[in-house]
Amino acid sequence: MMIKHIRNCICVLLLAAAAVLLDGCSFRPESAKTPEGETLFRLGFAGTPASLNPYAACDPEAETAISLLYDTLFSEDLTTGEPVGSLCTEYTVTNASSGVGKLWNITIRDDVYWSDGERLTSGDVEFSLQSLKDLSARYGYPFCELLDTTGIAIVDDTHLAMIVWGEESVVKTCLSRVPILPRHIWNEPDYMLYDVSGVASDPVRAAALIGKVPAEASVMVGSGLYTWGGYSNGVLTLRLNRAYGNGTSKAEVLELCYGLEDPAAALAENRVDACADMSLSGFRSLRENEAVRTSAGTDGVMYQMAFGFASDRSPVRDSAVRRAAEYCTARDALLLYAFGGGYAERGMISPFSAWYSMNESVFDRPYDTATASSLLQNAGWTDTDSDGVREKNGVPLSLTMLCANEAPAWERAARFLKTTFAAAGAEIRVVSVSSDRFAESLASGDWDLCLIAREPRPEPWMSFGYYFWDGGDNAYAETAHLGRVNSPGWNDSGYSSAEFDRLYKELTASTDPEEIRRLSDEAGEYLYNDSAAVTIGFSVVYQACSRVWMGLRAASDGRYFSPETISEQMRTVSAGR
């Protein structure tokens, strides 16, 4: 009897201790509810979308909403990471009769309806692929680059055909990114009126106006997992689409809470159920909290410092200055100070890409201002007047650095680099411009250094397109592989190299995986040795979620809530302890 009493006392003490522990961690035994008793999931963001209009959406905050409101032809299988059919029920791939590219015949579901009751047809798919490629800030090129959208043929309401370039898996990944929009809504303005020719009736007005249409219930008509509920005071409310035919969600109402000053604190205080992005300090504060599950994953954004080659008088024309800049970049400290953390890599391809194989012994310029000073001194850059700034042939080593002021991170990074460059005798003048003027300032060429975020693409040839020039015309034809298409041509720095262009063309013409890897390694090493740009690192997204929502799994890039997989995450989630 005494033993039983002692055992009971121990159990009581353990339960009491567990209760204290769980209370201290703000453990929530069940999901939140709306006043009407509906299950509620609240996803918090530090940022606020610039626009929720699908043609103007350009940030992860907006992309998350788009992925929940609209379906796609394919979606990602969270178990395998491979794209699987969503709106698409089946497809065939054959050689095109022209001998260029592949002919895709696609069958779509016949039981999908828009939230206003209209049926979704292949005409909606054709219109979306055409108009988004031409007019979208986010879902166009390069995600539609592999599609010949001028050649899409509507067979009937559930069948269409189109010419496509690229490997099958890459094409499906591209198609999993493009939301299918209702033609009867977005084709209504007189300047749109897209037809099968793939051209808006007034393309100039369409480009200027379609992205300015306000995002509200009358136009945000979708066929996705959720329907539009309303957007007020930084909170977008979405309601479960009970007519959705590809699964359901345990969350009947989903709130996207934008502009949180401290997302981690909001989660700890039970104001949100998950954080889509937070600071490194916030992430660390939650790692020991038993009530939440944390995840650190990649975002695919590459932070770079580009050199401006447009001006013949720019000091960065001297390769010694460009190499010294590499040694003046303290990557780890800069990523932490400006961007809240990241992967400090030096190569041109994201370390999270399947094609990544950076040789550490080749990319070997660590932070070392003494080496930077020696490089500059040996190249003739000397401080003759002892003012702290080197000169050569009467030209001071004074550099103009361009950055956008849309987020504090860029200005912090610029101030940081101004200090590290000064240690080697280089002066930086920071020019901070608004996001709407940034592209214009970039194109002017009136800068020496530019802080920029680039998005590594699905294949190496897309990532290297930032440096391709091809004699200045930015276009070429490789009929053996791509057909006659424009190169990416995003050479905003004016970098030019015939040797790199040769490697680039060989890379884009190759279909052999081993050859692609070899050529991409060679091209990446060439750009690095020529100091075409300084790669600072690749971003990290810190996320956390209440353990009440136990079914969440990290996507292929490590995150719980990547914009491409949020609807899949919510479909497979199970609420409860």
Evaluate whether 282 touches 262 at the Cβ level (below 8 Å): yes
Torsion of CA 152, 158, 159, 163, to 10 degrees: 40
The beta-strand segments (E) located in 476-561 are 533-546
Sign of the alpha-carbon torsion through 458, 460, 465, 470: negative
Q: Which domains does the chain have, with CATH numbers?
A: 71-212 (3.90.76.10), 299-539 (3.10.105.10)
- Dist. CA 303–CA 540, nearest whole Å: 11
Closest by CA position to 503, among listed 479, 521, 478 = 521
3-state secondary structure of 239: strand
Q: What is the pLDDT of residue 471?
A: 64
pLDDT in single tens digits along all 577 residues of the chain: 333 333 344 343 333 333 333 344 445 568 899 999 999 999 999 989 989 999 999 888 999 999 999 999 998 887 777 888 999 999 999 988 777 778 999 999 999 999 999 999 999 999 999 888 888 877 765 556 667 666 788 999 999 998 887 778 878 888 888 999 999 999 999 898 877 666 788 888 998 999 999 999 999 999 999 999 999 999 999 999 998 987 889 899 999 999 999 999 999 999 999 999 888 889 999 988 889 999 888 877 889 999 998 888 899 999 999 999 999 999 999 999 998 888 898 888 888 777 888 888 888 899 999 999 999 999 999 999 999 999 999 999 999 999 988 778 899 999 999 999 999 999 999 999 987 788 788 888 889 999 998 877 667 877 888 888 776 554 433 333 333 334 445 677 888 899 998 998 888 888 788 898 899 999 999 999 999 999 999 988 899 999 998 777 777 667 788 887 888 888 877 664 3
Distance between CA atoms of 363 and 530, rounded to whole angstroms? 12
Most distant pair of Cα atoms in the chain: their distance: 97
The beta strand positions in 270-349, using DSSP E, are 274-278, 292-307, 342-343
Claim: this prediction has a pTM higher than 0.95: no
| C-alpha to C-alpha distance for 283 and 114, rounded to whole angstroms | 39
Strands in 88-95's sheet, in edge-to-edge order, are 88-95, 102-108, 159-164, 153-156
| Two structure tokens written together for 124 | 């909606």
